[in-house]
Amino acid sequence: MFSERVYGRQVPAASDRAPQRLPRGRHGLPRRFVVHNQRERMLLAVAEAVAEQGYANTTVADIIARARLSRRTFYEHFTDKEECFLAAYDTVVEQMLAGVGHAYESAGRAWTSRVHDGLEAFVNYLVDEPAFARMCIVEVVAAGPEARGRRDAAMRVFVDFLAPGRDEAPRGVEVPELAADIVVGGIYEIIYTRLLRDAADELVEMLPQLVYCALVPFVGHRAAERAVRENEARRATAARAPQADG
Amino acid sequence: MGPQIEPFRPHAADVSALALPLRSRRDRLIAAIARVVSEEGYRATSVSKIVTAAGMSRNGFYEHFANKEECFLAAYDTAVEQVMARVRAATSGTRSGRAALEAGFAAFLGYAADEPELAWLCVVEVLAAGPRALARRDEAMRRFAAFLEEGRGDGPAGVPPVLTEVIVGGVYEVIYARILNRETESLPELLPDVLYVWLAPFVGAAGATAARSAAAARLEPVGARRGRVIAFRPEPRRTGGT
């Protein structure tokens, strides 16, 4: 299916790795999080705990209880909750951005198609991985200055996806650099508010609108509308055709 | 500092604080919480830190606020009131919706640049101050969006309803990033580019470019004044006053 093709990381059967000890199946979470070792068990545990309880209310005790590891093991890997959270954040964001980047690069030469497919992969990831989504989008802004810095770095990757749009502008128009920052920040806000009220599904319905918003400062109203229609048509065709690629 | 919140002096004797009229003591606490949260964050802020910064007693604090959260919310509301007053003043007498949009948004950015501690409180710490603060933020964003929509007028059919929310949210994010980097004083510079992004879907890229250039031409460097780099000059001044 689409999501597996995009993210490309299948988790080995959990039974090979950590029999009975993984918090398997809860929140539909660990499918794509490869848990090889104690450290990764703690990363998964902190992601789940923070998604469920909020960053402020999560303690090291919560993390080790979920990971079923000792406090001593925790402190062999991390100095505190924040460090553990940041490590989990980095792992998840790297995976997510790899998926988004792959979708963007694979969408052909048209920048508008690339934006569509990248955004689609992003939204699908957030819907498929609710706990990771909550951690990366919502809790990260409540987890201190270092976490905010990491979030900003992730947002800059999205800004880079939009930057080529400045070459798509009508002749004589110089799109301000700030346009990409505003679009990325604005889509982040949309996602933030939807996740905050557990309405991630709305994001899927909204995808064409979000694509329009991402394109319009660069290509203008009519071209943005046209690109949205074309991309929806392309997607519908792809959904009807059998998946032939690998 | 703005006209209604006076700079407080941590070294001022408690006696003088007690001698102040009630309203000023409340304002002093508001200025104090803005200073403390912008230095230490909401979570690390305590009533004792607030009263120390305000040069007041704990009793003085509890005469006005039940707890830290109440004080925070009062500071938030005060800032919103003040910024709305400035926006109203800037937009009264403007001749078109577009001119009001530009002048009002400039007033908004100018307020934030003048009040970096309150700006930090309202934009950054509000996210960490609990559900009531978040509800205040939602409400402020809605008012802000309504104001911006008024100045934009009707556009082409087919603009998706979520566009306003995206751009308002995006502008918020850009402002947030500047404040977080302690570049609050540079906020007025954002005006021309924000106008472009806001107007482009409605008036087209060429029209938005014209609006952007016009707004950029009205940005006036005034290096010496209170350390601010940029100020906005809505129209030629007729007197040399102030």
Residue A31 — φ and ψ, nearest 5°? -55, -40
Name the pLDDT band for A239 (thresholds 50, 70, 90): confident
pLDDT at B229 over 60: no
pLDDT at A4 over 50: no
Q: Among candidates A103, A115, A93, which has minimal Cα distance to A183? A: A115
Helix boundaries (H) for B92-183: 97-114, 116-123, 131-150, 162-180
Task: For chains A and B, count residue pairs whose Cβ atoms are closer than 8 Å.
Answer: 115
Which residues in A84-97 are b (16+ Cβ under 10 Å) and which e? Answer: bbbbbbebbbebbb
Identify the DSSP state of B179. H
Q: In angstroms, what CA-CA distances link A170 with B204, B217, B226, B239?
A: 10, 23, 41, 43
How far apart are alpha carbons A78 and A40 in whole angstroms? 12
How far apart are alpha carbons B17 and A215 in whole angstroms? 55
pLDDT value at position B241?
39
pLDDT value at position A242?
64
Mean pLDDT calculated for residue range A163-179: 92
B177 closest CB neighbour out of A142, A152, A208: A152
In chain A, the percentage of residues whose pLDDT exceeds 70 is: 83
Judge: B171–A185 Cβ closer than 8 Å, yes or no.
Answer: yes
Whole-prediction pTM value? Answer: 0.79
Mean pLDDT calculated for residue range B220-228: 49
Q: Which of A166, A189, A212 to mutate to test the interface with B (most CBs of B within 10 A)?
A: A189
pLDDT value at position B83?
94
How far apart are alpha carbons A136 and A76 in whole angstroms? 25
Q: Is B131 on the interface with A (CB under 8 A)?
A: no
pLDDT value at position A28?
42
pLDDT value at position B23?
65
What domains appear along chain B, each with residue ranges and CATH number? 17-65 (1.10.10.60), 71-232 (1.10.357)
Q: Among candidates B72, B54, B70, which has minimal Cα distance to B7? A: B54
Judge: B204–A221 Cβ closer than 8 Å, yes or no.
Answer: yes
Identify the DSSP state of B232. E
pLDDT at B75 over 70: yes
pLDDT at B1 over 80: no
Name the pLDDT band for A32 (thresholds 50, 70, 90): low
Q: Which of A55-59, A125-129, A142-146, A221-225 has the lowest mean pLDDT?
A: A142-146
